[in-house]
Structure 1
């Protein structure tokens, strides 16, 4: 075979005259280029480590300090106050060099001390969160001074990880404060007797076991980078024994109205090449750090975007990822019609062009070979329960050809699924097709996604694409950042020819993709079928609805002078009340990436203020506008507290974990941790607004993504605010629950949004303010 011949660097034969070597210059050249590229990566990584290590200073500042110290010495002054002379006494060098060497050593120590001081100052500055509580348009002098100091100590041109060493650690709230906030959030959802009982349990916990557990948490907070994240990953994600599909994994969609090319292989070429460009920027740390009002967010999760796979364990899951500093895999695993392929994305020391990747993908699409045995349904093992998959992996995939093929998938940069279906907002039933598109990305056929991989890129027959992402390695904003870059680079940077193909040429020496082989015994086939049955039952039960709301977005909400997130969250409360006739415990995901290795915190969006407003609105009371603003302000306050480490649920979760380690039972913590989130919500923020041009290209609208329902009798709602005039909602529930219906709930949400917009319209007078003005005028008349 041609590719096998090219893989041999040299051949030799024994002749009477001796050994005759036949060197393959092309193969040797490829070895040389590959090694050269590897060394370039190492040098780049070393340089970035140095730059990040001395940030917010720069390596060139060392030379400035050395020259300054030497200059002062030549003026016969001693800036070291005798330290340089002390260093000279212990240097085993000649007299001529001793002064210069000692001055350089002192300058280096002074430079390192300055770096440490600057980093410490920056860390203290980033620990200040008063800026989040400032009223819009009314910034205090303290915050102005703080912002100026942050700019001074932040340095210039930071790399992706430059701020990591300066980020503060997540603080541990006081037990009494967390208990107080919990009781406040639970009051409106409990009867008087239930609340009295829970208050008694809380007070007992606070006065006895809580203080002991808190001591261990404070000890961990002093020792660890983050007292929550490692336990959150282990116990919430990795120790979960249920299917990842639907329950944990989430999805991201393509552009809503536009498909850049109808050619599947061409779309794959640009999409995969854009992923490689992002990974190259990631390896070089050229991605600009994500900030909130110039305050940096933690980027630790970015290290695990590529070459990451979640490995099942019989007792607990294990994270398996190849550190970028150790090994960078240069291929992807591709699934098509039940076959698995390894596709190299680099050749002869260079990245394949989009056109070359299209050529390789087309080779896979044209391959007529059928799958063997149950190879087509092999990935169902990753879609079912984790324990059977762990047992099957250990028993049937620990050696031989199965291990080699499985290693190829698990060590790949990411997974690629080539679907024969056509998806998108199309045809005679665009709304229904959009729902089916979402379900396809969420679970597919239950065997055509490798749900353990950090993410799977899905490419459909009509050129539509999307992704399915595993959740344990990072949260959705990290993957959304990648996908925003990939989508915009695909369309606005790489582009296509008039025929719809990728641009560029194809090298004639490209080796074709390699087909992975398997030897699956009958017993393993039975395990696959059982996992597929579990996954199929779960997938069939998902009721999904994607609802784009046009001509309504951030622009209209801002005219009401209300936070868009608070506006939508209160609308969700109103919609749920109309849908179910009651209120429920509500989960809204908030990030804690203002702190080192921060992940998420819960905002309990169902508050007494929001419930009071909803009841007043449904009762036709005239003070609704005032109540709405009060509810919105309360929600914003809770969101800010969650972001600044003063949330409720992560603290209680960690206290519960400590109690389990100590063998202590807490009725209070047990009941809190067993509460059901019947309304689980999350906003997917658009992070790189500069990449989208909604004015000149309004059709290139990202649709966002979604997730499955958290509770069997509840809803999952994900939303993304697009520009000024659009909101996209992704709503999920289960068919098996007669009380839930995603389409009905979607209609309720849309009506709630419109009702609130009409209520808070600036043109509409506020009865509460009118009454206040009337009262003031009456007093003046008196």
Structure 2
């Protein structure tokens, strides 16, 4: 099987690659058994019987075995022809690059960095822009050091558990990378990676500027952040004084891929090559810096701006405005096909990234290193012997070898005509609609965090939080839905992720016990620990490459690309369980680090929730998104669920320390019933006591 190349202009050899084992292809029978175990808790008895008949039928096993043999042969050939690869890699790129809807809220996640207290409320030579400019310049300066480490092969290897090395291949596609829409007669997008890129793009009020930041040896041109500050200030001042038209070309990157492809094709064939040259400059840039002319005080609005931009429509009752003049949100000041550093007017900073080539762990390393380095930069100005995040930065010999570099910001002047203007207008209205259709709730739970969970609950913090999600959803809807959490598989060559499925028979037992009037706290705790233990076991299996989702997806793709016209569709893929399994209602991701204030992403299905969470030592932070599906109510129930789990342990501890009289029960062996309730969930259950929720489903 031969798959098309999805990455252009990428360097073939990189010193960042440790010698790692290949991602294993699990035995088919084991994968099918895991699939049955993961889907079973989501189905009714009759559906389960039908599913098992389909999956374990001789016909299905025969067809799947043939696909398995094809996959094994493909991986053997791949190991010889492309040693730095994995069997899922090209399939996974296809999953992203063949996606035709907008990447906004559907693909790109965002990280919100913690505040930099060293520049908070600073008033200086840049007047009201001082805080924004200094924060942006410090982060840019640190990012350039990070890029130098990558390109010089000095970036310290990622490890887990202090010793297990992780794949570093994604770092070569973090900068100078762009998602390019399909060309004429092409079936999918592709990634363009420019390993020689040396410039950045800065956007302010929808206007684009660029300047060089690295020399020909990939050494940062600027030895301090101050020259970057002056460049950013000059960009803001030029934009404020500009009277030219401000076509928001970045809004094209919010479009459906086919529409964006048609626009690019129109630009390519235009007799005036100005816009096409501008696109090439943006595509090849290291990354994009978005300076927003907006300040945010509410967490939900701030995370919305980082994730999808805001939409602020100003209407003109006394006269008709130009179509694009009505939109004043930050959604126009973006370029979603690339890595973006976003800095608000009041110095809030975040990262929005195109997800095809890189996973959260890779961008989290970037966020952690640049945040730490930017903070340590202040300490270096106060005292000596401050540790460095990066190796010592060599000074650029600018006069000797960089005469062709441009360090003064250059503005990109876009040419517009009726087609471009109308296309911009419709792109803006569509992204504005999408933003209006989503809402975000930010939950900062400060009652406890990982320290308390490990000491008092004796559970995995991540597993415990996943159980709270299930309790909250069951309290709201009285059922269980497909829940997804990614597990990193980067300890294998070019590893990406595997799907952790959070709903298990053990988690269902625990959730139902929380609403069962006949359950006692001792039983709830026992169920909780079993559920958390099971969740941790699934995480280990997935991290070892022994999940079911990626393997089955690869087999499905092999059928679709090689046997669609010659082999019957395997029954496993026709059964209703396959659709239920892949309809992710609760999509979650745990991405914790002290540098992050929060992070978020959109729901992966129209009727789903997206939950990005950080489990800190003494707190838990979450960003919850949905298409107006009672998002804030769900967030409140998650908070109440976390409190109620703690109350269960508190009551058990109190019962252990004093003699209590059990209330008689008509069920043998159960006592202490009525006192084991609290108000944590009651007020959100339509006035009913939470023990009155039906637990038979």
TM-score of the aligned structures, taking structure 2 as reference length: 0.78
Q: Report what 1:313 is aligned to.
A: 182
User: Aligned equivalents of 1:212 and 1:753: distance in 2?
Assistant: 47
- 1:448 and 2:333 aligned: yes
Q: Report what 2:68 is aligned to.
A: 214
**Distance change >3 Å, CA 496–CA 712, structure 1 → 2:** farther
Q: Report what 1:401 is aligned to.
A: 274
Which runs of 5 or more structure 2 residues have no equivalent in the other structure?
1-10, 79-84, 122-130, 310-329, 383-397, 663-668, 670-697
Does the 8 Å CA contact 1:303/1:323 hold for their aligned counterparts? no
**Distance change >3 Å, CA 265–CA 612, structure 1 → 2:** same
Instruction: Give SS of 2:420's match.
Output: helix
User: Aligned equivalents of 1:638 and 1:308: distance in 2?
Assistant: 34
The superposition leaves residues 55-103 of structure 1 with CA deviations (integer Å, 9 ceiling, x where unpaired) of xxxxxxxxxxxxxxxxxxxxxxxxxxxxxxxxxxxxxxxxxxxxxxxxx
User: Aligned equivalents of 2:118 and 2:627: distance in 1?
Assistant: 30
- 1:684 and 2:591 aligned: yes
C-alpha displacement at 1:372, in angstroms? 4.7
Which runs of 5 or more structure 1 residues have no equivalent in the other structure?
1-44, 53-159, 427-432, 499-506, 687-691, 693-700, 776-782
C-alpha displacement at 1:206, in angstroms? 3.8
Moved more, 628-637 or 516-525: 516-525
**Distance change >3 Å, CA 673–CA 275, structure 1 → 2:** farther
Mark the structure with the bigger radius of gyration: 1
**Distance change >3 Å, CA 259–CA 419, structure 1 → 2:** farther
Q: Report what 2:315 is aligned to.
A: none
The superposition leaves residues 452-475 of structure 1 with CA deviations (integer Å, 9 ceiling, x where unpaired) of 01x111111112211111100111
User: Aligned equivalents of 1:378 and 1:748: distance in 2?
Assistant: 41
Match for residue 268 of structure 1 among 106, 116, 136? 136
Q: Report what 1:96 is aligned to.
A: none
Moved more, 170-179 or 315-324: 315-324
Match for residue 754 of structure 1 among 621, 631, 643? 643
C-alpha displacement at 1:347, in angstroms? 7.0
**Distance change >3 Å, CA 332–CA 496, structure 1 → 2:** farther
**Distance change >3 Å, CA 480–CA 212, structure 1 → 2:** same
Q: Report what 1:285 is aligned to.
A: 153
The superposition leaves residues 24-57 of structure 1 with CA deviations (integer Å, 9 ceiling, x where unpaired) of xxxxxxxxxxxxxxxxxxxxx99x96xx5xxxxx
User: Aligned equivalents of 1:611 and 1:636: distance in 2?
Assistant: 16
The superposition leaves residues 81-128 of structure 1 with CA deviations (integer Å, 9 ceiling, x where unpaired) of xxxxxxxxxxxxxxxxxxxxxxxxxxxxxxxxxxxxxxxxxxxxxxxx
C-alpha displacement at 1:712, in angstroms? 1.6
Does the 8 Å CA contact 1:376/1:447 hold for their aligned counterparts? no
Does the 8 Å CA contact 1:259/1:463 hold for their aligned counterparts? no
Does the 8 Å CA contact 1:337/1:371 hold for their aligned counterparts? no
Moved more, 603-612 or 516-525: 516-525
Match for residue 478 of structure 1 among 352, 356, 362? 362
**Distance change >3 Å, CA 650–CA 358, structure 1 → 2:** same
- 1:557 and 2:442 aligned: no
Q: Which has the higher helix share?
A: 1
User: Aligned equivalents of 1:563 and 1:543: distance in 2?
Assistant: 30
The superposition leaves residues 216-253 of structure 1 with CA deviations (integer Å, 9 ceiling, x where unpaired) of 1111222223111211111x200001000001101110
Instruction: Give SS of 1:342's match.
Output: strand
Instruction: Give SS of 2:170's match.
Output: helix
**Distance change >3 Å, CA 347–CA 226, structure 1 → 2:** closer
C-alpha displacement at 1:418, in angstroms? 0.9
Q: Report what 1:530 is aligned to.
A: 426
Does the 8 Å CA contact 1:311/1:317 hold for their aligned counterparts? no
C-alpha displacement at 1:390, in angstroms? 0.6
Does the 8 Å CA contact 1:264/1:461 hold for their aligned counterparts? yes
Q: Report what 2:532 is aligned to.
A: 632
Does the 8 Å CA contact 1:253/1:465 hold for their aligned counterparts? yes
Moved more, 476-485 or 389-398: 389-398
Match for residue 299 of structure 1 among 154, 158, 168? 168
User: Aligned equivalents of 2:627 and 2:416: distance in 1?
Assistant: 34
User: Aligned equivalents of 1:494 and 1:285: distance in 2?
Assistant: 27
Does the 8 Å CA contact 1:260/1:491 hold for their aligned counterparts? no
- 1:233 and 2:93 aligned: yes
Match for residue 441 of structure 2 among 538, 542, 545? 545
User: Aligned equivalents of 1:304 and 1:600: distance in 2?
Assistant: 17
Q: Report what 2:40 is aligned to.
A: 187
1:477-516 correspondence runs (5 A): 477-494=361-378, 512-516=408-412
User: Aligned equivalents of 1:346 and 1:291: distance in 2?
Assistant: 28
User: Aligned equivalents of 2:551 and 2:438: distance in 1?
Assistant: 32
User: Aligned equivalents of 1:209 and 1:332: distance in 2?
Assistant: 51
C-alpha displacement at 1:410, in angstroms? 0.6
Moved more, 702-711 or 600-609: 702-711
User: Aligned equivalents of 2:656 and 2:22: distance in 1?
Assistant: 44
User: Aligned equivalents of 1:370 and 1:721: distance in 2?
Assistant: 46
The superposition leaves residues 125-162 of structure 1 with CA deviations (integer Å, 9 ceiling, x where unpaired) of xxxxxxxxxxxxxxxxxxxxxxxxxxxxxxxxxxx43x
- 1:643 and 2:543 aligned: yes
C-alpha displacement at 1:666, in angstroms? 2.7
Does the 8 Å CA contact 1:256/1:702 hold for their aligned counterparts? no
TM-score of the aligned structures, taking structure 1 as reference length: 0.70
C-alpha displacement at 1:207, in angstroms? 2.2
User: Aligned equivalents of 1:320 and 1:612: distance in 2?
Assistant: 45
Q: Report what 2:105 is aligned to.
A: 246
C-alpha displacement at 1:576, in angstroms? 0.9
Does the 8 Å CA contact 1:377/1:528 hold for their aligned counterparts? yes
**Distance change >3 Å, CA 354–CA 588, structure 1 → 2:** same
1:670-681 correspondence runs (5 A): 670-671=574-575, 674=579, 675-681=582-588
Does the 8 Å CA contact 1:170/1:221 hold for their aligned counterparts? no
User: Aligned equivalents of 1:521 and 1:185: distance in 2?
Assistant: 54
User: Aligned equivalents of 1:584 and 1:392: distance in 2?
Assistant: 40
- 1:715 and 2:600 aligned: no
User: Aligned equivalents of 1:384 and 1:264: distance in 2?
Assistant: 29
Instruction: Give SS of 1:379's match.
Output: helix
1:21-36 correspondence runs (5 A): none
Match for residue 575 of structure 1 among 442, 467, 472? 472
Q: Report what 2:557 is aligned to.
A: 657
